[in-house]
A and B are shown apart, each in its own frame.
Chain A
Amino acid sequence: MIVATKLRKEFQVRGKALVAVDRVSFQVGNGEVYGLLGPNGAGKTTTLRMVMGLVEPDEGYVEIGGIRTDVDRAQIRHQLGLISTNDGVYPWLSVREMLLYFADLYAVDLDVAKTRLVELAQLLDIESILDQRCSTLSTGQKQRVTLARGLMHDPPVMLLDEPTRGLDVVGSQTVFRFIEILRSRGKSVLLSTHRLDEAERVCDRFGLLHHGTMRYEGTLDDLRAQTGRDHLVDMFIALIREGEGN
């Protein structure tokens, strides 16, 4: 369960204050997939970072499983998994070594980690490459390793930052399947993306960010009612035009 309340973040760029996120609130329930959508520069990544506790909000707060991120940051991080577009692998480590390394970073008990490794390897079809150096993996294999990495500590909340960017159809399918697994396990998933077609397929609810503010929020039906348009893409174009008109 994620509860974000009135998040606000300002950055100083060359002496000028730039509001990246302004009073953004949303909730993600257990077993729910929430799409945080918006064009580039809308404030998605900053919002995600505030949820992670990597960036401290100037105002507002985030609660994960009832704990505020500014109260017990370490505890919050145990609850969170993170998978992002830019995630890399360690070229000189084997897949097994890398996954166990992350289990250690999350202070997972070694025996538990080893059991989970076997389970995740089956789930994501990486059993055959467990002892291969990461530098020898294909893009698809690397992606599956990254997905497995996000689950090594079995977090109740998963943050996905543009997880399909740069992936082909097969790669994207793997991600969708992964999201389905997360949903079926009752995890709260916060998905940030600008691929609206994908979002429409996998998300239960949406939040449309533009210029750092939450413009529309709700299920697809809610959004349709609010905007009078059928598809996310159309809603977006309207939003951006509106912004240009200002």
Chain B
Amino acid sequence: MHEYFSGGRLFRLCLKELRESLRDRRTLVTLILMPILVYPLLSMAMQRLVIGVAPKGSGGPVEYIVGAADEDGARVLASALQDTARATNDGVRPSIQIRRQKASGGGGESVVLTDGATQGVTSGSLQTNADAAFSIVIPERGTIQDALRDGNVDLAVTRASREQAAPDGSLGLVYQFDMEFREGDGRSEGAMLEFRKAMELVNDMQSARIRSILPRVRGEVLAPAVRLVSNGTGQQRDVFASLAGILPLILILMTITGAVYPAIDLTAGERERGTMEAMIATPAPRFVLLLSKYVAVVTVAVLTALANLTASWLTLSIGGLGRALLGERGLSLSVLVQIFPLLVIFAAFFSAILLAMCSYARSFKEAQAYLIPVMLISMAPGLLTLMPNVEFSTLLGIVPLVNILLLSRDIMTGSPAVLPAFAAVFSTLLYAGAALVVAARLFGAESATAGSQETWGDLLRRPKLSRGAPDLGELAIYFALLFPVFFIVTNLLGGWVKGIENRLWVNAGVLALLFFVVPTVVAWYRRLRLRETFLLRGWSGASGSATVQVARGAGVLVGVVMLGLGLWVIAYEVLKLFSAIGIGPIDLERTAELERAKLEFSAISLWVVWFTSALVPAFAEEYFFRGYVLSAFRGRVTRGRAILFSSLIFGLFHVVSGSQLTLERFMPTVLLGVFLGFLAVRTGSLWPGVFLHAIHNGLLFWLTRFSEGELTQWFGRNNEHFSVAWIGASLLMVGAGTMLVFYLTANRFDENTP
């Protein structure tokens, strides 16, 4: 295996796959031609959708009626529109009429007011560009909102309360308006878009003028000449939200499309060309072969994503559609920078799915037959995200495709919720890993067993031979299944189970089920020898006389107690350290919640707390993380890395607690995991770890029984930190405990290397 990861060989293998894909014209079509064609077409369609049935008639401008609340407002509005018209008409400031609308039904009679700022009344409306002209009316009866609702005006524009009039040529705001329009009404939405466009022109002119006078002026000084506040109806944001949902869906569909062809070509294509067998017959491990193909497919998908992002950004920026869809900031560069990694993650996930499907296919046609239903099926949840009131909830955070779509939508329209975002990214990466494992198993399977029918079921079938540890593939699949379940259960329980004591029991039950019962059943089914997989054996070592063994065993336990007494202080300080540098700050609300929990806690018997929160988690988590997880790495990576990887996974699972994302728990948990892993590796046994884990948890929960004052008195905590003496003593304790364990044990972990 090693020779394939050194000397640039893996890179060369990937390069071959990339060459094959990128030299193929068909790949280039989806990569380059599609984005160039799709977005302008789409943009046109969207313009129609947003602007609706704007009747262009004989090609002249559409005349929109803008309602102003009073004469003063109307004059400012007229002045703003004149500025726009002047920009398009060689500096001539044309005149405009302001009409007073008498009746609220129909157009009615109008009293014509002449705009005082101009001489001569010549036209009924003011044309701001080739497509649009505006006339301003002031309803005589009722508010402009009534007029808007009744359809007498297309757009209601009022001067914003915070408006500051600034003299011509100076910095700052000149006009500031609030706009309201009828949602779903093409004409009204068209008026809104055109008015916005006109005002932006003034804005740009103003900026240009200021910059010409003060070239070194900083950006933030240049307040916009016109600030528009669209506040319409309550549903208005939903229009934007649903429209904003379309773009991620299209981007993701296009990214998928980019990956489809290379995925088929590099797998089923190999079979069809007759190169598969020669490739499979080489000593190169299948996983390496698949990995190189995977890298190529993901690369093409990412390139497609980049091409699509660029094309969509250009289209939306040029057409001004971006602002219409996504609000004021449009599709800004920072949004793109946030969306791109999501597309990469999604590409990583979907490429693995595609490879898994195609690996099973014997021909191009067969692969296409498999993929089309998959694409259609994945469209369906995608469409769900277009519905206006779908919220990016925690549970949707683990639904593949939907999570990335909703996260992209929320990034485009505002800031997404942190926990669902974390769940979306983390679960998608887990799914990608599992899909890649499945793909590696299926890849080349057909040519390896000609005549027999290898099926998907083989992956789930019970192996014939027993083994001492799961392989990494099984681990990846188990995680991909475990994480969503864990996430859903911990989330739902937070809402369903009332009372802290009940919650403690249920939590303990869930931990026992997911980390003990289910892994045991899975291990039994997959014929893993339980004793070796879960390190169910003594820790005193086999060498030496019985007395020596007992003494050594006792010595190890003393070391574990020392670790247990010292580690929690260190873990606490690590937690504080990471909170201080901004990783998952413990906010006040959460602290208050903790205080409340603490009060309720003290009413529960300490035995119950110890059993449910120390003993059960200690056993179940050790059983899984130091048993199943650590064993999967045994003999495949170095001992140090095995400890590190299992600790990182241990840490990640502790970040999700209930319905909260407790990022600050990550580092302390990883630290604890490293010591627990060290114990498991040195003793080859689960039990010292269980003991340490139980001491650690038990100690922490016991301490919650005491008041802040008592704790401060004992530990000399100042400003929420332990005294230097305590930290020093704890470090010494941990150091001594570690040394003791180290000297009393030989490495017994690798005894069962598969």
Contacts and interface: CB of A to CB of B under 8 A. Distances in A.
Interface stretch (A102-110, A170-178, A193-201, A231-239): A102-110
Interface of B: 3-4, 7, 9, 12-13, 16, 19-20, 23-24, 273-275, 277-285, 289, 447-453
A201 B277 CA distance: 28
A84 B278 contact: yes
Interface residues of A, number: 38
A87 B283 contact: no
18 contacts: A11-B452, A54-B281, A75-B283, A78-B283, A82-B278, A86-B277, A88-B273, A90-B275, A91-B273, A92-B24, A93-B16, A101-B13, A102-B282, A104-B16, A105-B13, A107-B3, A107-B9, A107-B284
Contact of B16 (A45, A54, A97): A97
A56 B3 CA distance: 25
Contacts of B447: 54
Given A54-B280, A54-B281, A88-B274, 13 more contacts: A20-B451, A54-B448, A75-B283, A78-B283, A80-B281, A84-B277, A89-B275, A97-B16, A104-B9, A104-B12, A104-B16, A106-B283, A107-B3
Contacts of B448: 54-55
Given A77-B283, A110-B7, A55 B450 contact: yes
Interface in A14-66: 20, 45-46, 49, 52, 54-55
Contacts of B273: 88-91
A246 interface: no
B275 A87 contact: yes
Interface of A: 11-13, 20, 45-46, 49, 52, 54-55, 73-78, 80, 82, 84, 86-93, 97, 100-102, 104-107, 109-110, 149
A98 B571 CA distance: 55
Contact of A105 (B23, B284, B449): B284
B12 A105 contact: no
B284 A93 contact: no
Nearest to B1: A74
B275 A105 contact: no
A78 B285 CA distance: 12
Nearest to B273: A88
Report, nearest first, the 10 A-B pairs whose CB atoms are least far apart.
A88-B274, A77-B283, A88-B273, A105-B282, A92-B23, A107-B3, A74-B283, A86-B274, A105-B284, A11-B451
A33 B289 CA distance: 32
A59 to B, nearest CB: 15
A88 B275 contact: yes
A91 B20 CA distance: 8
Contacts of B7: 109-110
Contacts of B451: 11, 13, 20, 46
Contacts of B281: 52, 54, 77, 80, 82
A20 B3 CA distance: 36
A77 B451 CA distance: 21
A209 to B, nearest CB: 15
B20 A92 contact: yes
Nearest to B17: A101
Given A77-B283, A107-B4, A90 B450 contact: no
Nearest to B451: A11
